[in-house]
Amino acid sequence: MPPPFKLAGIDHVVLRVNDMQRALDFYCGVLGCTEERRVPKFGLVQLRAGGSLIDLLDVSQQADKNSGRNMDHFALTITPFEEGAIHAHLVANGVGPGRVEQRYGAQGVGPSIYIHDPDGNQVELKGPPGENLN
């Protein structure tokens, strides 16, 4: 059975970085990203990369800074975001869905849910901004 949504693209990728200034110099200075916003509470800097975001997460502020991973998660834009249908689809396919919350992404604040792929990579399914959680 096909999913109850269509993939529209990559919303954002969250990278764990050891040196925030070095990462900003590379992504902004070398690749041409622009800083969109900062969330100091999480040690997060969000960079605009065309229609998507690259989020830089300062691992020096994280409890699991030595986890050996440099990607926190990536987010896929999906539409429509129908919570009940998505939950049923994931469960039917053996995927444990997380809690649906309103989160910021490349298009603004909208509903999202975290899941894990078979290798343990965290994936965020991100709905369009303004969609209700129903």
Please check whether residue 44 is in contact with residue 17, taking contact to mean a CB–CB distance below 8 angstroms. no
CA distance 90 to 132: 19
pLDDT tens digits, residue range 71-124? 889 999 999 999 999 999 999 999 999 999 999 999 999 999 999 887 688 899
Task: DSSP letter for 2, please.
Answer: -
Residues in the chain: 134
CA distance 63 to 10: 27
14: confidence class by pLDDT, cuts 50, 70, 90: very high
Q: Which CATH superfamily is domain 6-126 in?
A: 2,3-Dihydroxybiphenyl 1,2-Dioxygenase, domain 1 (3.10.180.10)
User: Where is average pLDDT lowest: 39-43, 58-62, 126-130?
Assistant: 58-62
CA distance 48 to 51: 7
Where along the chain do its domains lie? 6-126
